[in-house]
Amino acid sequence: MARHRTKLRPYERARLWTSRIVIWVVILLVMFPLFSVVASSFQKGDAFAVKRMLPDPRLFTFDNYRALFTESRYPIWLKNSLLIGTTVGILQVAVTLTASYAFSRLKFWGRKNGIRTLMILQMMPSMVSLAAIQFVLFKLNLANLFGFLLSSMGASAWSIWLLKGFIDSIPRDLDEAAKVDGCNDWQVFRLIIVPLSVPMLAVLFLFSFMGVFSEFVMSSALLKNPDHWLMAQGLRSFSANAYSTAWGKLSAAVVVTAFPLAGIWMLAQNLVQSGLTRGAVKG
């Protein structure tokens, strides 16, 4: 049976093509910075200082990538960021999950106003506590990666609130049915809550993991040894001062750093999508 195509009216056709043009313009505007960074990573000299919209084929080179791995500490910074990011992500997810379960399912004194207090404290800028954290860690001789890990492992009130809302959406009938079968609170948590919360936990892990890659203030205050630097500090080092920046090496470092982050997002995109959509509704 042949399909009957509905003929678009002139104003509908004009609106369709207008929307297509707008979408493509927006895509090009978004992709242009990415294209500029990738192109400059294959250019000799200070590529961003050249008054050209397109890269010069005569300046094409792999020297920036070669120098990135042979003349800088970039491999060490990448290893530190991956290790600390993974550890911080796991610890923050563990703390967030247990706290969220307690606020959602358990009954204890201060449960009603406890999370509200955490949200109020979270509204304070992190810079307020920077001096105190730095003083304590330097006194304990922990101005290193382990000290940074200790200062970053705590869960955020926003994550606890978000995961609590997700756990609230899990029917309590499942808890009651498990307890009828002889399960205690720990078994309910381990066998029911944790498996059903995996998509949301993946979202929280990725946010924590990527937060380590973009962390600069706290790491700059604590990590003074270049061998302990994280990625943001390392990338900043390519800008020697306000008038000199190694744009080629910096662009190459940005491109290489994007690969593990993009790979993790691609592998976990189904879990992330499920966690975000399921966490957005209740019931």
- Out of 66, 81, 104, a domain closes at 66
The verdict on residue 1 lying in a domain is no
Alpha-carbon span 226 to 252, nearest angstrom: 19
On whether both 160 and 183 belong to a single domain, the answer is: yes
The verdict on residue 31 lying in a domain is yes
In the numeric block, which tokens belong to residue 279? 């966490």
Which residues partner with 245 through β-bridges?
Answer: 239
CB 244 within 8 A of CB 262: no
Alpha-carbon span 162 to 280, nearest angstrom: 9
Alpha-carbon span 88 to 219, nearest angstrom: 14
pLDDT score recorded for residue 80: 93
On whether both 117 and 209 belong to a single domain, the answer is: yes
The verdict on residue 249 lying in a domain is yes
- Out of 24, 49, 66, a domain closes at 66
Residue type for position 17: W
Q: How far is CA 130 from CA 55, 133, 141, 220, in A?
A: 42, 5, 16, 11
- For residue 243, the enclosing domain spans 72-279
The verdict on residue 205 lying in a domain is yes
On whether both 124 and 166 belong to a single domain, the answer is: yes
Alpha-carbon span 155 to 166, nearest angstrom: 16
Domain count, the chain: 2
Q: How far is CA 105 from CA 108, 116, 159, 165, 168, in A?
A: 10, 16, 17, 11, 8
Q: Is 152 left (phi over 0), alpha (psi -120 to 50) or beta?
A: alpha
On whether both 77 and 100 belong to a single domain, the answer is: yes
The verdict on residue 3 lying in a domain is no
pLDDT score recorded for residue 24: 93
* Nearest by Cα to 211 from 227, 230, 228: 230
Alpha-carbon span 157 to 100, nearest angstrom: 10
The verdict on residue 2 lying in a domain is no
On whether both 19 and 88 belong to a single domain, the answer is: no
- Please list, in sequence order, all residues whose beta carbon lies within 8 angstroms of the beta carbon of residue 229, skipping any fewer than 6 positions away: 73, 76, 77, 80, 219, 223, 237
On whether both 251 and 214 belong to a single domain, the answer is: yes
Angle at 122 between CA 116 and CA 125, to 5 degrees: 150
Helices vs strands, H then E, count in the chain: 15, 2
The verdict on residue 130 lying in a domain is yes
On whether both 132 and 95 belong to a single domain, the answer is: yes
pLDDT score recorded for residue 75: 93
The verdict on residue 61 lying in a domain is yes
On whether both 29 and 96 belong to a single domain, the answer is: no
On whether both 231 and 206 belong to a single domain, the answer is: yes
On whether both 25 and 126 belong to a single domain, the answer is: no
pLDDT score recorded for residue 116: 76
pLDDT score recorded for residue 82: 92
On whether both 91 and 156 belong to a single domain, the answer is: yes
pLDDT score recorded for residue 242: 58
Give the CATH number for residue 154: 1.10.3720.10
Residue type for position 231: M
pLDDT score recorded for residue 272: 66
On whether both 38 and 89 belong to a single domain, the answer is: no
Per-residue model confidence as pLDDT tens for the chain (283 residues): 455 566 777 777 888 889 999 999 999 888 888 888 888 888 876 655 555 556 777 778 888 899 889 888 999 999 999 999 999 999 999 999 998 888 888 887 877 777 777 777 777 777 777 888 888 888 888 888 888 888 888 767 788 888 888 888 888 888 888 888 888 888 888 888 898 888 888 888 988 898 888 888 888 888 888 899 999 888 888 876 656 677 888 888 989 998 888 888 777 777 666 655 554 444 4
